Structure 1
Amino acid sequence: MPSTFGIVDLFAGPGGLGEGFSSLARDGHAPFRIGISVEKEASAHRTLTLRAFLREYRARHGVLPKEFIDFHAGLASEPDWSAVDAEAWQHAVGEARALELGTGPAATAIDGAIATLKAKYDDTILIGGPPCQAYSLVGRVRSRGKVGYVPEEDARHYLFREYIRVLDKLRPAAFVMENVKGMLSSTVESRLVFEMLMEDLSSLGTGRDHHYELRAIRVEDGKASLREATRPSDFIVRSEAFGVPQRRHRVIIVGIRSDLGTRAAYAEIAVSPGARTVNDVIGNMPSLRSGISRGLDDAKSWRCEVTDAARLLAGIYKGKDDRALREAFRYVSRRMQEASPEVRAASWLPDGYATSNDELLQWLERPGLRAIAQHETRGHMASDLGRYLFAAVFGNVHGYSPKAADFPLALSPDHRNWHSGAFNDRFRVQLADEASTTVTSHISKDGHYFIHPDPLQCRSLTVREAARLQTFPDDYLFLGNRTQQYVQVGNAVPPFLARQFGSLLYAALA
């Protein structure tokens, strides 16, 4: 019989890494089964638990429950999932745990799950990664701005040691640790965090039969393999190389238990082919208008605001060298009167939904759904609509997102340092014909870094559009309020990428 691996997923968030591994199938066999996934944030844990329930329900019945289809489509309130399938819900509650790693109760629960997994499966896999806020460049800048902040006292710097404690206890066949690139340069106590991490990982197995061989994932000639790293940057994985429509670069450390290292050295898989773009995954989504956060918010008022901004910008570029920009703004002004979107939310399925032969769209679009969920815009200040419009038009015309210096003075926000360079990327459009920039939790704040490429929509991305850029399938529902949903999406590992990690590990271990 094919091998089956039990998975321990730490710092799971809404479950992107686990979704990728658990979705893998080989000749009707699912080689990876999640035994326990751990997340402390309440809304992400709710999402994680619902997904665990749906996974188990589908394994039992072959389809998603009608109650979920209706809830997903907005046709019914959230049901009592235990009444839908008591055994599947009990399984989900046992799998998805709301625990704070690094505490005694979490250690007890995880150690109990480890004993169960070792008895149930052929071997195990550990996946996940500590919170990235302590390591990310943005997070470090914010932390330095806090009065009395002492890096050595920030517990987030040391949470990787809880991952290593579990690794030492579990002794899995392999592990996958994910984190931001900033981890390579973050320091604590005048030492690089990454150096401390590698020392701890290298020390595992001392005095035992087996240690862990640390590998980097390398992509060459359309194939991914596991190779020895010669420098820290070798551990950086570029998501776009795996067919993800996003330039998301993360540190991925793979450890293979030394008794399995020989086969792993020759493992390789074909990665998802071709560069994927923003338009590939959100280009067929229903068109929406943004809201107006202050003042009258209706389609007519919004259309007038955007039209006035387009006319103002066309006038600014009259007689200037950039004729293409002027004509583009004139075009938007005309089209706003003819075909501007009327609604802020839409759930209808695009034409040809779930019928594509494209690998990525087959992953995203799920048969049986009645609607697109969580495709609703937020409101923007009227003054920002002109900046969004300018960024989208500029991106379409010039093929790159404008910097602060590219904006006309009439659109300058009331920031004292607007032209100092500190706000150079304050407004960033996602280009339709390229992969997006990294989707981060900052998308929950104001949307300025995630402007939709279509000037006629003049808005930031919806939760569902961000989720598609992160390659979450359309039946993946994020629970909590909209801000919490954005945070969950931004903090996750793209499941389509994780699925290919799982495929590579299976080739290395099975």
Structure 2
Amino acid sequence: MNVITQSERSRWSSVRQNKLEALRNTGRARTLDLFAGCGGISLGFNKAGFEIKAGIEIDKHAAKTHAMNFHSHLDAEQLEKHSNPHDITKLEPKDIVEELCLKGNVQEAIDVLVGGPPCQAFARVGRSKLREVYDHPEAFKVDPRGNLYLRYLDYVKAFQPLAIMMENVPDVLNYGGHNIAEEVCETLEELGYIAKYTLMNSVYFGVPEMRERMILIAYAEELDVEEVQFPTPTHFFELPRGYHSSRQVALKTINPECVHHRYIELAEPSEDLPLAITAEEALKDLPRIPDDHRCKLKKAPQRFTTLDPYPETELNDYARLMRTQWPNFSNKDSGVYDHLIRFLPRDYPIFSRMAPGDQYPEAHRVAMEMFEEALVAERNKGITINKGSVSYEELKKKIVPPYDPSKFPNKWRKMEPDQPARTLMAHLGKDSYSHIHYDSSQSRTISIREAARLQSFPDGFKFAGSMNPAFKQIGNAVPPLMSYHVAQCIREKLEF
């Protein structure tokens, strides 16, 4: 970043001071969401009273989802502009202001900037694929997506927001030996902000999903904020060992003896808090999908055109929040239109026999048992199928998944009803085996709406595109409830 002159600092300070006075007078915190996805961060900030002016997103389905949920009040021409995908690397802030008709010049247009630069380059799970693409032993260090946070900082400098929230995967703290979050904080301080970051798990904030994220908050010096604070947990849960291990890997770049780092350790949730929301609590009021349901009878294009009515059942607090109590997103329908699942007839019987918590090795063992039972049934009919024959392999193919259980141990997982779900990934767009429904009588993977519920998207929030894009949008999203708690902290400092 170029050297910042004293005249620039004075000009920026004047701009931010004027915006602060206007904010306190109008009570409207105009918010721009960069790398917005379908709108998980926007939804949480909207619930906290922030005004979502625009979401900038390159994926066409996610961009349309964001627009139709946050800008449906606009005329058709403006709604289409918000629905279009936008590439932040090719558009300057002034282009965004002009195209989306944000009021004022760039520095006057918004008060709050939020967003999460794409995390694929930061997440360790993607590094092997990157090595293949780049034919480089440490390709994740040179993936251009890993530099999009610099573009985010360009937009900070241009828009001069009063408050900033950045989100990413925990590995952003240890990216090729660099702590990106620390470097972002250093740059923000040069631009006139106080900035801190932490690691938050969504399960501690009322989300029925274990999802670890880096959250960075920054405030303009004009706010006179003495210390950045983060939300305190609202729910208690003992995280599995794997989540603790991943956190420790991410924190390796932070020296606890160094008082200069900007990392803040959140307080551990107290056992006196309400227990975390479980998968069953999150999903049990949604319609059942039994064997005679249309989604399981035949393969067909999955469109959001058929209403699945809510069953008559007693609602818990989470279900009420998801159905009717989320401001601006109360479900106006008597059911849901996106309760759609993947057509996986070979695997339904396997799902039914799996125990909660079982993964692919257990699923493969169950399938082999079913295959042996099928061979016995054929023998009882007087038909002998010899091992290695064409008939043997054809029958096995009909029953047993083809993946090596020693190489894909985590490919499948059946959810536990009495625990929150494990992290939903963008790979839901490819398949849903990571989240097999806990109810064996339904023997299936989760639906689009169930995935949304686990991420804390209210039922009144609609998704654009077909099934695969919808799953991908949900898997990529920031849980709105977690975003809401962050937004509440920021609102307290902005005092609007």
* TM-score normalised by length of structure 1: 0.68
Whether 2:312 is the aligned partner of 1:288: answer no
> What one-letter code is carried by the residue in structure 2 that aligns with 1:372?
V
Q: What percent of counterpart residues are identical? A: 24
> What one-letter code is carried by the residue in structure 2 that aligns with 1:213?
I
Q: Which residue of 1 aligns with 2:95?
A: 109
SS of the counterpart of 1:262?
coil
SS of the counterpart of 1:146?
helix
Whether 2:457 is the aligned partner of 1:500: answer no
Aligned partner (choices 428, 446, 449) of residue 413 of structure 2: 428
Q: Which residue of 2 aligns with 1:304?
A: none
* 1:176-226 superposed Cα distances (whole Å, 9 cap, x missing partner): 111112222332xxx42x34x5224313353x6xx222224xxxxxxxxxx
Aligned partner (choices 184, 187, 192) of residue 203 of structure 1: 187
C-alpha distance 94-248 of structure 1, shift in aligned 2 (>3 A): same
Task: Give me the whole-angstrom Cα distance separating, in 1, the residues matched to 2:229 and 2:56.
Answer: 32
SS of the counterpart of 2:487?
helix
Q: Which residue of 1 aligns with 2:193?
A: 212
> What one-letter code is carried by the residue in structure 2 that aligns with 1:246?
E
Task: Give me the whole-angstrom Cα distance separating, in 1, the residues matched to 2:124 and 2:230.
Answer: 34
Q: For 1:127-166, what aligned pairs fall within 5 Å after superposition?
A: 127-146=114-133, 148=135, 150-151=139-140, 153-166=142-155
Say which is worse superposed, 406-415 or 160-169, in terms of deviation: 406-415
Contact 1:290 1:379 in 2 (8 A): no
User: Once the 2 structures are TM-superposed, how far is the Cα of residue 297 of structure 1 from its aligned partner?
Assistant: 6.7
C-alpha distance 128-297 of structure 1, shift in aligned 2 (>3 A): closer
Aligned partner (choices 77, 82, 85) of residue 98 of structure 1: 85
Task: Give me the whole-angstrom Cα distance separating, in 2, the residues matched to 1:438 and 1:266.
Answer: 25
* 1:150-194 superposed Cα distances (whole Å, 9 cap, x missing partner): 44552211111111111122221211111112222332xxx42x3
Contact 1:277 1:432 in 2 (8 A): yes
Q: Which residue of 1 aligns with 2:46?
A: 22
Q: Which runs of 4+ in 1 moved over 6 A?
A: 266-270, 290-293
Aligned partner (choices 361, 367, 376) of residue 404 of structure 1: 361
Contact 2:208 2:276 in 1 (8 A): yes
Whether 2:6 is the aligned partner of 1:5: answer no
Q: Which residue of 1 aligns with 2:66?
A: 48
SS of the counterpart of 1:102?
coil
> What one-letter code is carried by the residue in structure 1 that aligns with 2:337?
A
Task: Give me the whole-angstrom Cα distance separating, in 2, the residues matched to 1:133 and 1:289.
Answer: 36
Task: Give me the whole-angstrom Cα distance separating, in 2, the residues matched to 1:94 and 1:405.
Answer: 49
Q: CA RMSD in A?
A: 3.2
Aligned partner (choices 447, 456, 471) of residue 462 of structure 1: 447
Contact 1:114 1:170 in 2 (8 A): no
> What one-letter code is carried by the residue in structure 2 that aligns with 1:404?
P
> What one-letter code is carried by the residue in structure 1 that aligns with 2:309?
W
Whether 2:324 is the aligned partner of 1:373: answer no
Q: Which residue of 2 aligns with 1:347?
A: 308
Task: Give me the whole-angstrom Cα distance separating, in 2, the residues matched to 1:411 and 1:156.
Answer: 45
User: Once the 2 structures are TM-superposed, how far is the Cα of residue 416 of structure 1 from its aligned partner?
Assistant: 6.8
Unaligned runs of 5+ in 2: 1-24, 236-273, 299-305, 325-329, 372-399
Task: Give me the whole-angstrom Cα distance separating, in 1, the residues matched to 2:84 and 2:129.
Answer: 30
User: Once the 2 structures are TM-superposed, how far is the Cα of residue 36 of structure 1 from its aligned partner?
Assistant: 2.2
Q: Which residue of 2 aligns with 1:361?
A: 320
Q: Which residue of 1 aligns with 2:265?
A: none
Q: For 1:257-296, what aligned pairs fall within 5 Å after superposition?
A: 257-262=220-225, 265=228, 271=234, 273-289=274-290
> What one-letter code is carried by the residue in structure 2 that aligns with 1:203?
T
Task: Give me the whole-angstrom Cα distance separating, in 2, the residues matched to 1:292 and 1:347.
Answer: 10
C-alpha distance 90-5 of structure 1, shift in aligned 2 (>3 A): farther
Contact 2:107 2:158 in 1 (8 A): no
Count of matched residue pairs: 388
Say which is worse superposed, 131-140 or 255-264, in terms of deviation: 255-264
C-alpha distance 204-243 of structure 1, shift in aligned 2 (>3 A): closer
C-alpha distance 215-290 of structure 1, shift in aligned 2 (>3 A): farther
C-alpha distance 260-357 of structure 1, shift in aligned 2 (>3 A): farther
Whether 2:205 is the aligned partner of 1:242: answer yes
Contact 1:53 1:88 in 2 (8 A): no
Say which is worse superposed, 87-96 or 462-471, in terms of deviation: 87-96
> What one-letter code is carried by the residue in structure 2 that aligns with 1:451?
I
Say which is worse superposed, 357-366 or 472-481, in terms of deviation: 357-366
Task: Give me the whole-angstrom Cα distance separating, in 2, the residues matched to 1:441 and 1:427.
Answer: 15
C-alpha distance 53-414 of structure 1, shift in aligned 2 (>3 A): closer
SS of the counterpart of 2:54?
strand
User: Once the 2 structures are TM-superposed, how far is the Cα of residue 497 of structure 1 from its aligned partner?
Assistant: 1.8
C-alpha distance 380-261 of structure 1, shift in aligned 2 (>3 A): farther
* TM-score normalised by length of structure 2: 0.70
